[in-house]
A and B are shown apart, each in its own frame.
Chain A
Amino acid sequence: MGAFETISFRPEHCDGCNDCMIACARAKEQSDDVLHSRIQIVPAEGGFELAMCRQCGDPECVHNCPAAALSKDGESGVIDWDASKCVNCLLCTLGCTYGGIVYDAPAARVIKCDLCDGHPACVKACTHGALKFLTTARIYNEVGNLEDLFVPGLAGCQGCNTELIMRHAMRRIGPDAVVATPPGCIPGMGSVGYNGLTGTKVPVFHPLLTNTASMLTGVRRYYKRIGRNVKAVALAGDGGTADVGFQSLSGAAERGEEMLFICVDNEGYMNTGMQRSGCTPYGAWTSTTPVGERGRGKTQDAKNLPLLMVMHHCAYVATASTAFMEDLYDKLDRAIAASEHGFAYLHIYSPCTTGWRFPSDQNIEVARKAVQTNFVLLWEFDPQGGLRLTHPVDDPFPLAEYVKELGKYRHLSEEQIAHIEASVARNVSFVQGLAAGRPPTAAAA
């Protein structure tokens, strides 16, 4: 299927003015009666919510149509409705759980959003920023015009997504920044260059594994002192963040230093030969938790670093995955904004084709499975809004679906998988509790 275009709704910006509904009714039925509108804003819990067609990827309304009147356009992603085929049986309305295709009694037929050929009237009419027209390629088109701040041809492993994270992040952050890349894959692939040659178009340095957040503290503090707004950005691995780099990270976060710290978590010291880190999950093979007659991989769970950062009351903390780029970009934007006034921490899960032992074309799929199984939870936190799951997975895949993709788990026994499942369940319960404003239960803690 082709690109999926859709209209996104940000309820926090909606004041219920109905301008979008009027615009839709006028555009589609030449009427001011909002009953004709394909977009319906509904009051809900003191705010507003949206009922409209989501242009689903695998649309149930299409499956339910006995007359072949509905079809998904492979190019635009729009679900088309063919009046000449529709028999008005309304079975499509049973297929839609979003109120996206409804019977319009005065018009005597079903109506649904068609995205106005890519120029939705409702989005144009919204003056509050509550509606946004999204296409799959949007983020790429937006950042495509921004300068790539790394040289071409960084020497990452085949299929590595850390390079993707670096390039996208820095395109968004822009050139008025100082970047710290502590020892690991990021400088290892050449971002800081060799023998006096640089791999980056912004000031970049190679701090110690231990002191990234401290060095950036000095950089940012001095520029602030002299009235220059220079962004301080860390692109660090999990070892330099969670293990030996944790003290400086914690100190900088506690002091509320203004920086954006991005942890690219590939669950171990992958650059130096795949050794265990504090972020390596239970059961994982690494070169220092090898599998042998007695050894069965790592015997401890990973530390939950992003949650530790929440406990520092950072200006912003979020987890992200390259399988969910829209989500990642939203978080990147918020993290950049937060780093102007406090400590922003972004924890991006980065499957490692080399160290985790899976085919190099499966990186995004592995990242996606991690989220779909709840092995990785996507959420964000700020002190005002608290913690919020941005991609809750109510109905997760069995964990085995994720585990079986990865060579580093090939040796796992049933008991070990059960251990990981229990850890995942505990983490889900804990994070859901935080999201709901509930104190963690004893069982969850």
Chain B
Amino acid sequence: MDQTHYLIVGASHAALSALHAIRLHDAEGDITVLTRDQSLPYSPTVLPYVVSGRSKPERVFLRDEEYFARLKVKYRCGVAVKRVSPEKGAVQLADGEEIGFAKLLLATGAAPVLPAIPGLAEVKFHVLRTMNDAIGLREAVPKIKHALVLGGGLIGMHAAENLAKGFVQVTVVELQRHVLSGYFDADASGIIERIFAAKGVQLLTASRLAGLAAHVDCWRATLGDGTQLDADLLLVAAGVAPVTDFLDGSGIQIDRGVLVDDWMRTNAGNVWAAGDVAQARGFFEGERILNGILPDAVGQGRIAGMAMAGDAGAKPYAGGVPLNTYAFFGQQAVSVGVQETALDPAGVEVHKQVDAERARYLKIVLRDGRLAGIFGINWAFDPGVMWELILRRIDLGAVKQAFLASPQQTARGLMSKTWR
């Protein structure tokens, strides 16, 4: 049985961040990285840009062979883990091979959720989570005329935009009343939706896909209200869920994701989890949430790596804060923190400026005089600085009015005073 001190399953941001953190503290301990992918590591976030052609597949790799060689890391791609035995300190691969470990990190990420839509199993559809998905989609684009995107979340919207740029007629079907509902309210989404509409993308919100079937040379979709749409490409982007199937029987506790503590450790003492697969404490909620966003995966990966290596500099997880940046058709939307609707109304104040004409939007949510959320479209502020203001629970106190008037300048001043 192959034996390694650190075993990392997965090779995206959480895994790479953990690997980096381990090597900062432990220059020698054996590290093995396993990934299902057949390539060097890449980020799922870049895939829509592979689809659009903006990113060449061979130029998006986050690390090269030389990196792994220099860090003395055994990088094994095209390898899937079938079973994990924490007590035994070993994993079993799909081909039956066993690898022993002292410390295991689960960073397997998330996979697309396939909604229960009659006929879905019978039709050919695309998802977008792997490089192969992206290349497949990219190769399909020139041959199609009308794409149907199921889901108006970030992946769906990114894909829709990129398909539209490829001169494809795109229709997005979203169950919620507005797109990107995880990050923006109706006013903000309205601005985004108008821009998509102006670019010729059809957005069908508050719509349910009731069925799918083959129809001549395309697929026919039937919506909840009976409307029928024909499309020659179907992309399912109805959300993702942590990849945990291989943990059955491992004894590792799973809710929606792998449950971890503030050190990213699972209930098994020698197993950690980080990134999209992990379900860690929410900053606002207190209970454990899924917060599948890249910067959080990086942070969780670092904590896990430091904890695994015994680095005393490790700090407990501050808690997951919803975050996103979203660039579309030359516009920028940023979401840092929670919407007021997610908070107990006591002590909450909301300051909103909407200029739909010029596609500008700003909403600031304060709780007890502290920043809880800030959301902007085409509005300049520093997302990282705002995130830090939230994490540090900084009382805006005397500068509250200044912050509301000029969040960027005021936050930079607070930054200089507080953590420069």
Contact = CB atoms under 8 A, between A and B. Distances in A.
Direct contact of A and B (CB under 8 A): yes
A247 B13 CA distance: 60
Contacts of B413: 42-45, 49
B369 interface: no
Interface string A32-49: 000000001011110001
A67 B41 CA distance: 11
B132 interface: no
Contact of A44 (B62, B315, B378, B416): B416
Contact of A94 (B59, B62, B383): B383
B387 A401 contact: no
Interface in B373-391: 378, 380, 382-385, 387-388
15 contacts: A42-B412, A43-B413, A58-B24, A63-B20, A66-B13, A66-B46, A67-B60, A89-B45, A89-B46, A89-B325, A90-B334, A93-B384, A97-B384, A97-B385, A97-B419
A44 B55 contact: no
B49 interface: yes
A395 interface: yes
Contacts of A395: 315
B387 A94 contact: yes
A88 interface: yes
Contacts of B294: 64, 66, 91
A97 to B, nearest CB: 4
A398 interface: yes
B385 to A, nearest CB: 5
Given A67-B60, A90-B325, A99-B412, A51 B382 contact: yes
Contact of A66 (B43, B334, B385): B43
Contact of B327 (A11, A43, A58, A90): A90
Find the residue from B16, B312, B378 having the highest chain A CB count within 10 A.
Answer: B312
A87 B46 contact: yes
Contact of B420 (A49, A58, A84): A49
A156 interface: no
A64 B384 CA distance: 11
A333 to B, nearest CB: 21
A99 B13 contact: no
B330 A108 contact: yes
Contact of B45 (A40, A66, A102, A398): A66
A96 interface: yes
A50 B61 CA distance: 34
Range of interface residues on chain A? Answer: 35 or more
A400 B312 CA distance: 9
A99 B385 CA distance: 6
Given A51-B412, A105-B378, A68 B62 contact: yes
Those 8 A-B pairs whose CB atoms lie nearest each other, nearest first: A49-B416, A44-B413, A66-B43, A90-B325, A66-B45, A401-B312, A99-B382, A96-B384
Most chain-A CB neighbours within 10 Å: which of B298, B315, B334? B298
B380 A43 contact: no
**Could you say which of A63, A84, A103 has the most chain B C-beta atoms within 10 Å of its C-beta?**
A63
A98 interface: yes
A333 B24 CA distance: 34
A97 B415 contact: yes
A85 interface: yes
B115 to A, nearest CB: 26
Interface in B390-419: 408-409, 411-417, 419
B35 to A, nearest CB: 16
A12 interface: no
B327 A89 contact: yes
Interface in B42-59: 43-46, 49, 54-55, 59
A45 B323 CA distance: 29
Contacts of B385: 96-99
A94 B417 contact: no
Interface string A62-92: 0110111000000000000000110111110
Contacts of A68: 59-62
A91 B294 CA distance: 8
B3 interface: no
Interface in A291-332: none
B266 interface: no
B17 interface: yes
Given A93-B383, A372-B313, 15 more contacts: A11-B416, A42-B413, A44-B414, A50-B420, A58-B24, A63-B16, A66-B13, A66-B43, A68-B59, A87-B54, A91-B295, A91-B325, A94-B325, A97-B384, A99-B408
Contacts of B313: 372, 397
A394 B392 CA distance: 12
A95 interface: yes
Contact of A87 (B49, B312, B315, B416): B49
B222 interface: no
Nearest to B378: A105
B37 to A, nearest CB: 15
Given A67-B55, A108-B330, A60 B298 contact: yes
